[in-house]
Structure 1
Amino acid sequence: MNVAGFFWQFLGIPQAEQVESVDLYWGASWVRAPWLLLGLAIIVVTVGVAAYYGRWQYVPSRRLRMTLVVIRTLALAALVGILLQPTLVVKLQRLNRPGLWFVIDDTESMSLVDRGSEPGENALGVAPSSGGRRLLPPAGNSEGQLTRSERVRQTFAALDPELVGQVENAFRVRVFRLHRGDGVDPLTVNLEDLARQEQWTSQFTADGPVTALGAALLDLNRKRGATPPGAIVLVSDFNHNAGIAPETVAAQLQTPLYCVGVGDVQTHDLAVDVQLPPMMKKDEKSVVTVAVRQEGFTGQEVTLRVFARQAEDNQSPSAVSSAASSSVGNEESISPHLPTSAAATEPKMNDPVGEVILQEVIRLSGPVVHREVPYVPKAAGQLVITAEVDRLPQETLTENNRIVRDTYVREYYVRVLFIEDEPSWEWRFIKEVFHRDPLVGPEGFRTYLRSADARVRVENPLFLPTLALPRRDFFTYDVVIIGDIPASAISRSMMEMIREFVTELGGGVVFSVGPRFSPGQWADTPLNDLLPVEIAPLTRLRESSFHPQRTPEADLFDFMVLGPNAEENGRAWDNLGKVVWYYPVVRVRPLATVLLAHPRDTCADGRTPQPLIAAQKVGRGEVIYVGFNELWRLRRKYGDLYYRQFWGQLIHRLAIQHALGADKRFVARSDRKQYRSGDEVRFSVEAYNADYRPLTEDQIPGGQLEAFLHLPAGTGGQTRKIPLTLLRPGQFEGRTTVFAPGEYRLEVHDPLTNRIVETSFKVSSQSIEKQQARRNRELQDRLASLTGGQSYDLPQLAELLRNLPQRREKETEIVQVELWNTWLFFGLVVGALLVEWALRKWLYLR
């Protein structure tokens, strides 16, 4: 080690390849000119010490006298330096090992056994033997075949120990598992541990409910800190089935993604899917779309059967929320194992699956065969649609041969109230859209137009004569749109009702901002807390020509997706053209999500783009902020196509979160519509009187609500009594655990009307992870290409590790050393004093 290195190590500074700069600062705040003070102190001390040894101490030798003067001056000057608190600031440049992150899929699809996995073979296609790295215990299913997760472990176990050591020395290895829908879990294992049976079984369970690759990449991006890793190795079957699209966030990683694919690329599989409208109307024709997907069975024929069944005595409007899980997103489904006889036996009309609305022998001429089935529901309530196809020989997965979806049939309509000052283009076109919308129609759309003639407001049923609505009338609405209207036009009591409508009853509100009245006018009103953004009271609109930009989070909101694919969706939003004005906001609320933003302007923090469309959950409801009322420009080339889709899906989204119709006064709900065996079910009941005042225990006979849970028919038709506890006025809750698969019904007695209000849910052992058996090789290659990485198959893992670029990362570090608080200063003072003491003893000085 050279002298410089020894000096830096003595000061506690880590070893570096290069020292860029060294600066000395003084930490004492009580002095303005430290160098001048130190110089004067040295002069004064030197003169004083020289006078002391020249006049009061006899030293026989002049050289010894000068030595004593220098030593004591040095000690006293060091003490003065300590008072000035000198601090050394050193800028170092080091080469660190790059990070290497392994992300291993641990979802349920990794428990599948691929047809290509032969009994007794490991991931490399070689039978385990004692001549390799280690003996591996047998794994897999009862037939000796390996699951995908076990094949991954076998591959890590087969790695050359020397290669593992090289990787560990060249990279800082971290391991994560993909197991949940909102991110990744860090594991306390290294590359060597991944090959051990005991470590693998304790860390990996292959039971994650969904493969959310987009959320995983977002979480990895958050975990990277200031320095991104050098490479990320993602081991998965890439069957993304939940959350944001991974391609959207892949470019944000700034790290090459090396994708290692697990599972067969070509499989033999037959699956069926059903698309339902979010709601149907009684005695009106709707269309049920069925898609049959196949791989490896081109040219063969199968029988497709579709059944419709009305839930027995279902009168509860709360089943509307099932539409959110079954139609909006279609992420979950109930697909019990298809019995062997199901493909050969035609169900009878009194079968539990319901009446046959389609039975057809279809030829599998392509990857997907669609059938549109018209259906006219005859009764209101929850409607269950079941579709199934025959089981064919050599199928990899049979759980997806049958699927059950549910929706809600209504006798009423969604009620929309549009509050506006005077007719605007947005008001005109929205009115036309919902007049023709079967879910709303002329009966469901009402508007308060302040500038309308008084006679028109009285005679035309479309218009409300006044906004002074009684509670029992106002709370029947499902969505309220507040347009370009002055705050003075809405009474404070009405604002309080709107806030209660959102926070307590789960209603939806849309603020459609116009150019005349600033949205800042709501700052001192009860509506301020509903806004997803914060706007200064006297804000003026800002005129600038720009093309709005969708944010990555926009894909999570159905009304922001205007096309079936990314290309058409982009074309639809490009059709909006240039926007020439908007209202700038101070900031975005912490719980709000920006969906459409300004391409250049930012909020007061200088980072967040100015929002043009933002959404926020408030209490039990949701509020949408539209920062300009010119979305009608979406009609520019395509008429109502995209405009109708935006507003239609937006109103549907807000409405299906809200109990519809007059029955919203007494609503029973379960926290989900689909459960797995062993899950806990939480029931809630919202109870209000005719004026929508919360019910309390003293208004209920017996002081307590009781619910009756009807178990599936397979359990003997038993009924379980569940007490409902009062959480707060108007809110009751109960819990139970379910085990048997099938449909459950919960009945609650309304004490005011003596009606039985009901909700239902289903329990299944089927997972969305097992809806797709084939590895998504296209997504695997696309992610690698977008990030500058490469795509590999699982047997090529060793080749991947050998080819990883081992470039060391240059890192700059700034180290501050308080010199006055180091061994250097301590040794200087004490050493000088000891040397002076020794010389004085030698000279017999006192």
Structure 2
Amino acid sequence: MTALLLKLLGARADDVARVADVALAFRSVVRPGWVILCLSAAAVAVWAVYRLSPVQLSRGRRWTLTVLRALFLALILMLLLQPVLALTIEGSVRRTLVLLLDGSASMQIKDVRMDPADQKRAAIARGVLDPTRGLTQPLDSGRARELAQLSRLDVLKSALRNHRLQLLARLAQHFDLEAYAFGQGLTPLAVDQAASSPGQHPTNAPGTETTAVGDWAWVDRLKADAPRTALGDALREVLNRKRGQPLAGVLVATDGANNSGSAPHDVAAVFRQEGVPIYAYGVGITSPRDVAVVNLFAPETTFVQEEMPLTVRVRSQGFVGQTIPLVLRLDGQQVAAQQVQLTADAEQVVPLRFTPTRPGEFTLQAALPAQPQETLTNNNAVSQRLRVIDAKIKVLLVDGAPRWEFRYLQAMLLRDRRVQLKCWLAEGSPSLASGEQSPYLERFPDQKDDLFNFDLVILGDVDPKVMTANRLDNLNELVSRFGGALVVVAGKRFTPHAYRRTALDRMLPVEFDVPSPEADREPVADRPIRLALTPAGRASPFLRLSDKDEENVGLWSQLPPVYWVARVLRAKPAAEVLLVDPEPAHSSRFGLMPVLALHQYGLGTVVYVGTDNTWRWRKNVGELYYRAVWGQLVQRAALPRLLGGARRTQLSSDRQNYVTGERIRVYARLYTAGFDPVQAPAVKAYYSLHEGSGLRTEVQLRPVPEQPGLYQGEFVAGEPGPYRFWVEQDPSTTLEFSVSEPKFEFGQTALNEPLLRDLATLTGGAYFREEDLYRLPDTIQAQTERVRLAIEVPVWSSPLYFLLLVGLATAEWLLRRRSDLK
């Protein structure tokens, strides 16, 4: 009735629930008093006309005709006042509801439903049980067996198509629906045509088909094949696409897995600020029976007869108290095993050790046996490539005096069976080298042949008068032309500032502008400094203390502080900074001061360590972290030379093991026959499967700015298998890497109900399971914000006003005809 009245008044009445307030106003400059005076005079004149009429009229008819004529004249006179109705209308604006449906591989999981509640949820989704009666209704045992192993995708599709639930149809009555599938990205499935602007049409992604949302055939096109789930990124992308448009909310149907991209909780905070609620439908079961090998944390390269420690992360659910064997295999042969007692639905770290006996390229696999009634068995093993080499790293440790850093570093390297260590102290006695098995040298190796025999030189706090120009030039040649590595450890007396404008200054990855006062006096070292990881440091294999990023950052934040760092200005343009001094007082105009930095120098690597206090990391834990950092630093700096990196073509990648769909970044450092950097604008390279069709794929490598001879390229990891990569100018030098099938989706098989509940609570939405789905449309509609709109309706020019005028004139005319009045 309200909508009809508003239409007669000429106002838009779309989605109006009620009129909250009404007020009459006049918008004319004519004073109402004059109109009232005219109206009174007109009323008297009309009364006189009918009172003095020659035709005999009954009293009632005379008054009726008088009133009709007076009202007609009153409406005419009211036009002078231009009356308007000021209305406050309360209603709802038709909004868009985005359906975000999980299309990741974890939706393929066929949950083993042992709990009757889970069986009934599947039955509700399939339409076997009444969706309004919840989990108290009985379910036939035969039907329960049929539903025991439905995939999560089948459950979701069934719920959307359920004729008893009518979920999509009921939602479409109140909202403009837009449906998307998400995994690594966002794929449109269906768009409500009413939501599109006239003349505009949705743009489909390549290879996708989008239909109107009312055509429920799009439900059948939903697939579960994405190798990763980026729930946070998908939510953020929806918000970006719909920014500025009225949203009723986002309905997310998922198992809650999130293994890529933004943290969903961070995105939920943005949704709360924007006032967009998230409604979550959890698909799956919360307590599946499953064991999984989540991660294998092992070096990619090791040494023959060197015991290799590694860790395996194991997750279990539903097998509390059982003991099963964790087996480590090298190319299919068992090399280690350990019994694992499964805990209460938790993840545990299992340490393993084994000793390779021969060199070569191998596949290392950690595996758990399949268990009875296990939900998923293809997550029971993780593999990676392992290279075993038969060599030792030859290290020369040079320092001025036996300071604490020298002593602890020497002791650690002497115990490392991968290392063949020689030491020289500039201020030490030559008699140190007289012992039969002494690691000391009588003098610094001045002959090139002697110096070039080392893979790595660690240079400490040595007087530059001792490290003559000839010795520094030889070091320069060892690194730049023969692929050796140099680690420079700063000291309070000389290094690095005393080497300004020397060959070492050119080799270092850091710059210092003016001589430091530290060169003139003994520095004070009494304030603790907690070194901070940079983003590059968090990702660097040099500084890994844990296989988990969060744990690694946490361990670094807990390391004991150092009490002195050498002042430098900044890192050189091509250097990579891994650790910085976070003190603002020590920073320069270029930012925080670098403490650990490295760069490629010619064919080799130069590492700068800007403190001689790393030995303090041994506090309370012994060599645990000290050995981890220095061991990785020594091994990774020297390995390129051991693996043939001194050649004119050096190939490397950011990792050795990838999964399908990941981006592989490769580097090529190329030199001419005279060891001058290659200057070509682009370099052709190729990659192919070791055992395949023989087809090769071309990759264009581009120069890296400010690094002569260094080229970089990227490509996407293809089908699983071992690959090799080479550049066109040197096919004999190859880079080996492996690609495996992604298993991110199967590391966590349980429905992540806590995450979905959090997203709903944080944004003002709601969480649903199958037994609650019948309430979902009403819940969203009830929470949709209502709009109050103030409008003015010009009554004097409305259709209703015109109809009243015509109606009064017509009624008077008909009555006059019946009364024989002209």
TM-score by length of 2: 0.54
The alpha-carbon deviation at position 446 of structure 1 amounts to 3.7
1:711 to 684, 691, 697: 691
Q: Find the residue that maps to 1:384 and give its secondary structure.
A: strand
Instruction: Supply the AA of the counterpart residue of 2:494.
Output: F
Deviations 1:272-317 (A, max 9, x none): 35444554432344456556533223456766554323xxxxxxxx
Instruction: Supply the AA of the counterpart residue of 1:451.
Output: E
Whether 1:641 aligns to 2:634 is no
- Written as runs of structure 1 = structure 2, the 5 A alignment for 1:322-333 is none
For residues 442 and 743 of structure 2, the distance between their equivalents in structure 1, rounded to whole angstroms, comes to 49
The alpha-carbon deviation at position 629 of structure 1 amounts to 1.8
| 2:179/2:191 contact within 8 Å kept | yes
Aligned equivalent of 1:296: 318
Q: Find the residue that maps to 1:407 and give its secondary structure.
A: strand
Q: Find the residue that maps to 2:628 and give its secondary structure.
A: helix
Q: Find the residue that maps to 2:386 and give its secondary structure.
A: strand
Q: Find the residue that maps to 1:649 and give its secondary structure.
A: helix
Instruction: Supply the AA of the counterpart residue of 1:629.
Output: D
Deviations 1:303-340 (A, max 9, x none): 6554323xxxxxxxxxxxxxxxxxxxxxxxxxxxxxxx
1:400 to 373, 376, 379: 379
Instruction: Supply the AA of the counterpart residue of 2:489.
Output: S
1:576 to 546, 550, 560: 560
2:153 to 131, 146, 157: 146
Aligned equivalent of 1:474: 452
For residues 464 and 760 of structure 2, the distance between their equivalents in structure 1, rounded to whole angstroms, comes to 53
Identity of aligned residues (%): 24
Deviations 1:529-563 (A, max 9, x none): 76555432334468673442535735434554546
The alpha-carbon deviation at position 120 of structure 1 amounts to 14
For residues 505 and 190 of structure 2, the distance between their equivalents in structure 1, rounded to whole angstroms, comes to 49
For residues 254 and 620 of structure 1, the distance between their equivalents in structure 2, rounded to whole angstroms, comes to 53
Aligned equivalent of 1:433: 412
1:517 to 488, 494, 517: 494
| 1:187/1:203 contact within 8 Å kept | no
After superposition, the Cα gap between the structure-2 partners of 1:437 and 1:200, relative to the gap in structure 1 and judged at 3 Å, is: farther
The alpha-carbon deviation at position 387 of structure 1 amounts to 3.9
After superposition, the Cα gap between the structure-2 partners of 1:373 and 1:175, relative to the gap in structure 1 and judged at 3 Å, is: closer
Deviations 1:741-797 (A, max 9, x none): 55567999x999xxx988654454444333433345567778999x99999568898
| 1:520/1:536 contact within 8 Å kept | no
Whether 1:451 aligns to 2:472 is no
Aligned equivalent of 1:770: 746
For residues 254 and 308 of structure 1, the distance between their equivalents in structure 2, rounded to whole angstroms, comes to 51
Aligned equivalent of 1:548: 530
Q: Find the residue that maps to 1:772 and give its secondary structure.
A: coil
- Listed as ranges, the gaps of 5+ residues in structure 2 are 1-96, 132-148, 196-201, 203-209, 679-683, 788-822
Q: Find the residue that maps to 1:632 and give its secondary structure.
A: helix
After superposition, the Cα gap between the structure-2 partners of 1:802 and 1:599, relative to the gap in structure 1 and judged at 3 Å, is: farther
Aligned equivalent of 2:287: 266
After superposition, the Cα gap between the structure-2 partners of 1:221 and 1:738, relative to the gap in structure 1 and judged at 3 Å, is: closer
| 2:272/2:763 contact within 8 Å kept | no
After superposition, the Cα gap between the structure-2 partners of 1:706 and 1:365, relative to the gap in structure 1 and judged at 3 Å, is: closer
Aligned equivalent of 1:282: 304
Aligned equivalent of 2:362: 383
Q: Find the residue that maps to 1:579 and give its secondary structure.
A: coil
TM-score by length of 1: 0.53
Aligned equivalent of 1:483: 460
The alpha-carbon deviation at position 711 of structure 1 amounts to 1.6
Instruction: Supply the AA of the counterpart residue of 1:384.
Output: T
| 1:103/1:178 contact within 8 Å kept | no
Q: Find the residue that maps to 1:711 and give its secondary structure.
A: coil
- Written as runs of structure 1 = structure 2, the 5 A alignment for 1:349-428 is 353-354=332-333, 356-357=334-335, 364=342, 367=345, 375-428=354-407
For residues 793 and 233 of structure 1, the distance between their equivalents in structure 2, rounded to whole angstroms, comes to 10
For residues 373 and 595 of structure 1, the distance between their equivalents in structure 2, rounded to whole angstroms, comes to 30
Deviations 1:171-221 (A, max 9, x none): xx9999772xxxx88999999789948999999986655457899999999
Deviations 1:72-95 (A, max 9, x none): xxxxxxxxxxxxxxxxxxxxxxxx
For residues 303 and 410 of structure 2, the distance between their equivalents in structure 1, rounded to whole angstroms, comes to 21
For residues 548 and 149 of structure 1, the distance between their equivalents in structure 2, rounded to whole angstroms, comes to 50
Deviations 1:561-585 (A, max 9, x none): 5468868975775452463665263
Instruction: Supply the AA of the counterpart residue of 1:265.
Output: T
Give the number of equivalent residue pairs: 619
Whether 1:628 aligns to 2:605 is no
After superposition, the Cα gap between the structure-2 partners of 1:537 and 1:189, relative to the gap in structure 1 and judged at 3 Å, is: farther
For residues 422 and 764 of structure 2, the distance between their equivalents in structure 1, rounded to whole angstroms, comes to 55
| 1:472/1:692 contact within 8 Å kept | no
Instruction: Supply the AA of the counterpart residue of 2:461.
Output: D
Aligned equivalent of 1:317: none
| 1:722/1:734 contact within 8 Å kept | no
| 2:399/2:460 contact within 8 Å kept | yes
For residues 527 and 124 of structure 2, the distance between their equivalents in structure 1, rounded to whole angstroms, comes to 59
Q: Find the residue that maps to 2:527 and give its secondary structure.
A: strand
Whether 1:307 aligns to 2:329 is yes
Aligned equivalent of 2:67: none
The alpha-carbon deviation at position 377 of structure 1 amounts to 2.6
Instruction: Supply the AA of the counterpart residue of 1:146.
Output: L
Instruction: Supply the AA of the counterpart residue of 1:270.
Output: V
After superposition, the Cα gap between the structure-2 partners of 1:552 and 1:305, relative to the gap in structure 1 and judged at 3 Å, is: same
| 1:308/1:385 contact within 8 Å kept | yes
- Listed as ranges, the gaps of 5+ residues in structure 1 are 1-99, 132-141, 310-352, 697-703, 713-717, 809-846
After superposition, the Cα gap between the structure-2 partners of 1:471 and 1:254, relative to the gap in structure 1 and judged at 3 Å, is: farther
The alpha-carbon deviation at position 508 of structure 1 amounts to 5.4
Supply the RMSD in Å over aligned alpha carbons: 6.8
Q: Find the residue that maps to 1:646 and give its secondary structure.
A: helix
Q: Find the residue that maps to 2:494 and give its secondary structure.
A: coil
After superposition, the Cα gap between the structure-2 partners of 1:305 and 1:473, relative to the gap in structure 1 and judged at 3 Å, is: same
| 1:677/1:739 contact within 8 Å kept | yes
Instruction: Supply the AA of the counterpart residue of 2:428.
Output: A
After superposition, the Cα gap between the structure-2 partners of 1:247 and 1:432, relative to the gap in structure 1 and judged at 3 Å, is: farther
Instruction: Supply the AA of the counterpart residue of 2:153.
Output: L
For residues 606 and 217 of structure 2, the distance between their equivalents in structure 1, rounded to whole angstroms, comes to 47
For residues 479 and 781 of structure 2, the distance between their equivalents in structure 1, rounded to whole angstroms, comes to 58
For residues 501 and 791 of structure 1, the distance between their equivalents in structure 2, rounded to whole angstroms, comes to 66
Q: Find the residue that maps to 1:146 and give its secondary structure.
A: helix
Deviations 1:421-440 (A, max 9, x none): 33322122111111112332
For residues 553 and 738 of structure 2, the distance between their equivalents in structure 1, rounded to whole angstroms, comes to 34
For residues 206 and 678 of structure 1, the distance between their equivalents in structure 2, rounded to whole angstroms, comes to 15
Instruction: Supply the AA of the counterpart residue of 1:556.
Output: A
Q: Find the residue that maps to 2:316 and give its secondary structure.
A: strand
The alpha-carbon deviation at position 590 of structure 1 amounts to 8.2
For residues 508 and 785 of structure 2, the distance between their equivalents in structure 1, rounded to whole angstroms, comes to 50
For residues 542 and 504 of structure 2, the distance between their equivalents in structure 1, rounded to whole angstroms, comes to 24
For residues 563 and 765 of structure 2, the distance between their equivalents in structure 1, rounded to whole angstroms, comes to 40
The alpha-carbon deviation at position 510 of structure 1 amounts to 4.0
Whether 1:585 aligns to 2:542 is no
